[in-house]
Amino acid sequence: MTIPSVLTRRDAVNTLFLAALAGSTGKALPASPGNQTLVAYLSRSGNTRVIAGFLSREQDADLFEIRTREPYPEDYDRHVDLARRQRDAEIAPALEDLPASFAGYDVVFLGFPIWGGALPAPVRTFLSANDFSGKRLVPFVTHGGYGPGSALETVAELVPAATVLDPFVLECDQERAIIERVSSWLEVSGVKS
């Protein structure tokens, strides 16, 4: 990746981010203009959404959020319980919709958080419901400190006809940790009802 001699701060941040991403894949990023590129992502608390939005702007790509027909609970612990049960039963929950004209994309960036050390069930549905034959798939993964677990192996298993590039993996804040910090503060603040 060439770095232009004059950079705005935003350009510099973007260039460094994409350089890091390219470095992490060890392969040329599929960034050529004219590519039909999709950025598809799942996100509960927003970490993966930030990366997805950035990539779609940088790559001039369509953006698609993976949403289940039945929304996940707002409550964090109930969400964790449901995600665990879906993982253990290998359930692929129904999605609200799928990308229009999926066949027209050459490159699909696929972003997701790690849930229970595994690929989230809605991403399992997404991969099974679309034909990835001949496409390049670029995973980007966020996790709360325990790494990607089995998720990337599952991606490769579910789309054997795609070329899966090395992933971008990033440790991010955990909603659980934020909630625990706020709960502790409420305990000592004297304002708890």
Ligand X SMILES: Cc1cc2nc3c(=O)[nH]c(=O)nc-3n(C[C@H](O)[C@H](O)[C@H](O)COP(=O)(O)O)c2cc1C
Q: Which residues bind ligand X (CB under 6 A)?
A: 43-49, 79-80, 83, 113-117, 142-146, 172, 174-175
Give the shortest CB-123-to-ligand X separation in angstroms: 12
Give the shortest CB-129-to-ligand X separation in angstroms: 21
Q: Which C-beta is closer to ligand X: that of 99 or that of 120?
A: 120
Angle between helices 9-25 and 47-58 (to 10 degrees): 100
Give the shortest CB-81-to-ligand X separation in angstroms: 9
Give the shortest CB-186-to-ligand X separation in angstroms: 21
CB of 108 closer than 8 Å to CB of 127: no
Give the shortest CB-142-to-ligand X separation in angstroms: 3
Q: Which C-beta is closer to ligand X: that of 24 or that of 45?
A: 45
Q: Which C-beta is closer to ligand X: that of 36 or that of 76?
A: 76
In angstroms, the CA 135 to CA 174 distance is 32
Tokens representing 159 are 């789309």
Q: Which C-beta is closer to ligand X: that of 47 or that of 130?
A: 47
Q: Which C-beta is closer to ligand X: that of 99 or that of 116?
A: 116
